[in-house]
């Protein structure tokens, strides 16, 4: 018999858009994600892997339950990967228009989003990643999503931006969906439901 409680995993995030994207996806895969809006400890580090790992271990000290932390960033080739690990800070300071200004005149508009999902249950620490390649648009388009969605177009759907997609459409391509799908494959194969 399935123990339903064992399929519950807390998602430490204050970003409801991230939660909606991830929970919609995992729900269909049989995992019940619960939003836990704890203040995620974000260390200064040079990679999103380090940020997510540290935050997951730290969050467990407060929650004592299986949990996920996800850290994501937008990496722009012409800016040597900026904003990358500083994406949240860049979004709240220079914002979308500031990023457009930085890439103005650059021939190479390629960029990628990467998401790291860090799972920790007190014993096992597992890291999963997902990436989507695309381009920075000249101007914001679309009203859906969050963050840099209006200026990022995945190469599979160019020139449509993430902000012109429904959550379901974004989940077919996004860095977050890819990282969470990798997590769900491992989780459903590994965690003992009996
Ligand atoms: P939590 O730490 O509470 O989970 P956050 O919004 O701070 O939420 P991140 O640190 O993972 O999330 O993300 C850093 C920034 O990168 C985020 O604020 C957005 O501006 C941007 N970002 C991440 N994923 C994105 C996506 O799917 N679409 C657009 N922008 C995204």
Residue 166 neighbours by CB under 8 Å, 6+ apart? 144
Q: Which is the catalytic residue, given 71, 121, 133, 149?
A: 71
The number of C-alpha atoms within 13 Å of 36 and in the hemisphere containing its C-beta is: 22
* Ligand 1 pocket mutation, candidates 10, 51, 88, criterion most atoms within 8 A of CB: 88
Measured from the CA of 146, which atom of ligand 1 is nearest? Answer: 29
- Give residue 160's pLDDT band: very low, low, confident or very high (50, 70, 90): very high
Between the CA of residue 9 and those of 64, 68, 161, 189, what are the distances in Å?
11, 7, 30, 15
- Chain mean position to CA 14: 12
The three-state secondary structure class of 133 is strand
Q: What is the pLDDT of residue 4?
A: 47
44 contacts 86 by C-beta, under 8 angstroms: no
Q: What pairing do the DSSP bridges indicate for beta strands 32-36 and 8-12? A: parallel
Report the range of poorest mean pLDDT among 30-34, 69-73, 156-160.
30-34
* pLDDT tens track for 53-63: 999 999 999 99
Cis before 183 (ω within 30):
no
Q: How far is the C-alpha of 164 from the C-alpha of 140, rounded, in Å?
A: 10
Q: What is the pLDDT of residue 31?
A: 92
Planar angle of CA 33, 39, 40, nearest 5 degrees: 75
- Give residue 192's pLDDT band: very low, low, confident or very high (50, 70, 90): low
Measured from the CA of 69, which atom of ligand 1 is nearest? Answer: 4
27 is catalytic: no
Mean pLDDT of the region 120-126: 96
* pLDDT tens track for 80-89: 999 999 999 9
Report the range of poorest mean pLDDT among 5-9, 108-112, 117-121.
5-9
Mean pLDDT of the region 37-58: 89
Task: State pTM to two decimals.
Answer: 0.95
Q: What is the pLDDT of residue 2?
A: 47
- Give residue 194's pLDDT band: very low, low, confident or very high (50, 70, 90): very low
Sheet strands side by side (includes 125-136) = 32-36, 8-12, 67-76, 110-120, 125-136, 152-154
Average pLDDT value for the chain: 93
**Residue 193 pLDDT > 80, yes or no?**
no
* Ligand 1 pocket mutation, candidates 14, 15, 175, 180, criterion most atoms within 8 A of CB: 15
Q: Which two tokens stand for residue 152?
A: 């990022």
**Number of separate helices (H) and strands (E) present in the chain:** 6, 6
Residue 111 neighbours by CB under 8 Å, 6+ apart? 74, 75, 76, 77, 133, 134, 135, 136, 152
Mean pLDDT of the region 145-172: 97
* 6 or 69, greater pLDDT: 69
Measured from the CA of 176, which atom of ligand 1 is nearest? Answer: 27
Q: What is the pLDDT of residue 96?
A: 97
Mean pLDDT of the region 73-102: 98
**Residue 66 pLDDT > 50, yes or no?**
yes
Domains of the chain from N-terminus onward: 7-190 (3.90.950.10)
Q: Report the 10 Å Cβ neighbour count for 130.
A: 22
Q: How far is the C-alpha of 131 from the C-alpha of 175, rounded, in Å?
A: 4
Q: Which two tokens stand for residue 12?
A: 């430490």
């Amino acid at each position: 018999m399935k123990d339903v409680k064992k399929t519950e995993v807390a998602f430490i995030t204050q970003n409801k858009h991230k939660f909606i994207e991830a929970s919609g996806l995992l729900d269909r895969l049989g995992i019940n994600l619960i939003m836990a809006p704890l203040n995620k400890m974000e260390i200064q580090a040079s990679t999103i892997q380090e940020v997510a790992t540290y935050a997951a271990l730290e969050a467990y000290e407060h929650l004592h339950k299986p949990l996920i932390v996800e850290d994501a960033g937008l990496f722009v080739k012409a800016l040597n990967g900026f904003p990358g690990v500083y994406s949240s800070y860049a979004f709240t300071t220079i914002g979308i228009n500031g990023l457009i200004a930085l890439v103005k005149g650059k021939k190479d508009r390629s960029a990628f989003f990467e998401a790291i999902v860090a799972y920790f249950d007190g014993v096992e620490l597992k890291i999963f990643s997902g990436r989507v390649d695309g381009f920075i648009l000249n101007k914001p388009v679309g009203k859906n999503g969050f963050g840099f969605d209006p200026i990022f177009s995945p190469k599979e759907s160019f020139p449509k931006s993430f902000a012109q997609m429904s959550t379901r459409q974004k989940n077919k391509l996004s860095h977050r969906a890819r990282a969470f799908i990798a997590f769900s494959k491992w989780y459903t194969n590994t965690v003992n439901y009996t």
